[in-house]
Amino acid sequence: MFDETNSLPAAPGVGYKAQHFAAIMGEPDPVQWLEIHAENYMGDGGRPIAQLRHLAERFPISVHGVGLSIGGEGPLDTDHLARLKHLCDWLNPASFSEHLAWSTHDSHFFNDLLPLPYTDATLSRVCDHIDQVQEVLGRRMLLENPSSYLAFADSTMTETDFLHAVTRRTGCGMLLDVNNVFVSATNLSYSPQSYIDAYPLDAVGEIHLGGHDEDHDDHGAPLLIDSHGREVIDPVWELLDYTLARSGPRPTLVEWDTDVPDWPVLAAEARRANIALSRLSVPA
């Protein structure tokens, strides 16, 4: 149904930040691909789009949407979907992904990834929206699992059952954020490894890693916040190893969106991802 020949390499990538442009064009090693947030490239021109054109000549690009509100109760914003299509049409990215979340309600956009109850009603709404996205863009999309800070009393299925059903019904792929798994598992007291065991690993087209902050809830229980503002912690690297051992090598991205460090710090994180990926190719 869709052209799958253009795809991300099973190698390290990073979330692109404009301050790293010169460093990436000069010494990208070991980074082999880049991810951009779609909404940052929806101006009419200027430096952001000029830089993106240069980057796209050298690297496979993953377009990561943060504003489509796929889990929203209302219809998808067709103007926004058209803007995504315009971006994907001229850029021809190796991947397009969005989130299992909502962010728009009554035409107000909240600039955050808000949570969903896992019910049949949510499932059919999310699947309808993914069908619509894939039809308009003419490409398969990847859906990212959220970082959860709370649960819904109304949920009737687990997140992994929900994601299995989504990929089965829509044919979409999965963007597995292992930091989000670690954050959600800690916050909602389940095992991150058993989440990975239950996850639709066959559908994974990309893996995300990122840093998080620590807080506590009203009862003193740990409450991790997905901040993308620091290094990936060791238990998340271990969860990556656990995942890759089951999924095989996948395109693996380090996200660092706030308090963005100088390039060598981010490149070091990508090197760590490269080591995790390289280990897989060594026969046991």
Partner 1 sequence: MTDQTAFHAALLDAAAPIPTGLTDGAGRPAGRRYGVYRNNVAVSLRDALETAYPAIAKLIGTENFHNIAGMYLRSAPPDTPIMLQYGAGFPQFLESLAPLAHLPYLGDVARIERAMRLSYHAADSTPADATILQNLSQEVLMSARLTLAPSVRILRSPFPAFDIWAYNMRPGARKPRPLAQDTLILRAEFDPVPHLLGPGAYAFVQAINAQQPLGAALQAAGEDIDLGAILGLLLSSHAITQIHI
| Residues of the shown chain interacting with partner 1 in the complex, contacts defined by CB under 8 A | 39-40, 42-50, 66-69, 72-73, 77, 80, 83, 102-112, 114-115, 117, 149-154, 187-190, 215, 217-219, 221, 223, 225
Q: How far is the CB of 130 from partner 1 (least distance, A)?
A: 17
d(CA 120, CA 189): 24
Q: Which helix (H) or strand (E) holds 275?
A: helix 263-281
Q: How far is the CB of 78 from partner 1 (least distance, A)?
A: 13
Can you point out the beta strands (E) in 162-231? 173-177, 204-210, 212-216, 222-226
For the packed helices 120-137 and 159-170, what is the interaxial angle rounded to 10 degrees? 40
Q: How far is the CB of 195 from partner 1 (least distance, A)?
A: 13
CA dihedral 247, 158, 77, 258 (to 10 degrees): -60
C-beta closer to partner 1: residue 2 or 110: 110
C-beta closer to partner 1: residue 53 or 279: 53
User: Among 110, 103, 203, 109, which Cα is nearest to 146's?
Assistant: 103
C-beta closer to partner 1: residue 7 or 193: 193
- Specify whether the CB–CB gap between 174 and 203 falls below 8 A: yes
Return the SS3 of 52: helix
Q: How far is the CB of 42 from partner 1 (least distance, A)?
A: 5
- The separation between the first and the last C-alpha atoms of the chain, rounded to the nearest angstrom, is 37
C-beta closer to partner 1: residue 189 or 281: 189
C-beta closer to partner 1: residue 58 or 216: 216
d(CA 28, CA 54): 14
C-beta closer to partner 1: residue 91 or 277: 91
Q: How far is the CB of 11 from partner 1 (least distance, A)?
A: 30
Strands 252-255 and 102-105: unpaired
Q: How far is the CB of 205 from partner 1 (least distance, A)?
A: 23
